[in-house]
Amino acid sequence: MPHLQQALFVVRHFKQTLRLTIYISTIFAATLLLGFRLLTNPVTITGHLKKNPKDSSAFVERVSIFVKGDNKVLAQTISDDKGNFTLTFTPRQEKSFDFYCRGLGIDTILIASFKSFESDTPDILFYIPGLRKKNSLGKTICPKCNKADKVYKIVYSDGIPDHFDDDTKVRKQNANPNIIDGEYYAGTCIVGVSKYFCDRDKVEF
């Protein structure tokens, strides 16, 4: 009889240990699959809007600012009368964090893009429009994809002109009908602060 009780005790202990091992393994596996999302801390951005020294036409007061990740709005707010603002959101393994603004005399424009942040409370200076960079060939680089091959200068006009093939005189059918002869036609007579359009990311900057 004592041997039977000892055997039952061993079996119960084994079952408890097995259940605990399975529970711990499940938690560990779930954490790996979620990419440690449970451990991700919120990020609080302290931002400051400034006029671009090369284009000071935009307002920085009472401007709507929002950040997108994987084409989803993560947070949005409005700058104060000095162009300062705060945004808080929790990263979820987005490929990039893209900051946009819009307001009086400002079309929706991409002002900066980040892959990650150095801390959970970064203090960042943003320019409207954003500071534009060029590659070694002098081509303007998109701040989101960091490439220049799909970037076009924006033309503001009352409409999109007809575009015909020189040989066949047939209207050309482009993948993006707003892009004609290497320029992007915004299709409006109101001039915005954005000067370039990236057809890869569909953003103006």
- Residue 168: what pLDDT? 47
Residue range 40-131, CATH number? 2.60.40.3330
Domain ranges in the chain? 2-37, 40-131, 132-205
- Residue 11: what pLDDT? 46
- Residue 170: what pLDDT? 42
Q: For residues 145 and 85, what is the distance between their CA atoms, to the nearest angstrom?
A: 26
User: What is the chain's pLDDT, residue by residue, as a tens digit (205 residues)?
Assistant: 555 555 444 445 555 655 655 555 554 454 444 444 444 789 999 999 999 998 888 889 999 999 999 989 999 999 999 999 999 999 998 999 999 999 877 889 999 999 999 999 999 999 999 999 999 999 999 999 999 999 999 998 766 666 555 554 444 555 677 888 889 988 765 667 889 999 999 999 9
Stated pTM of the model? 0.72
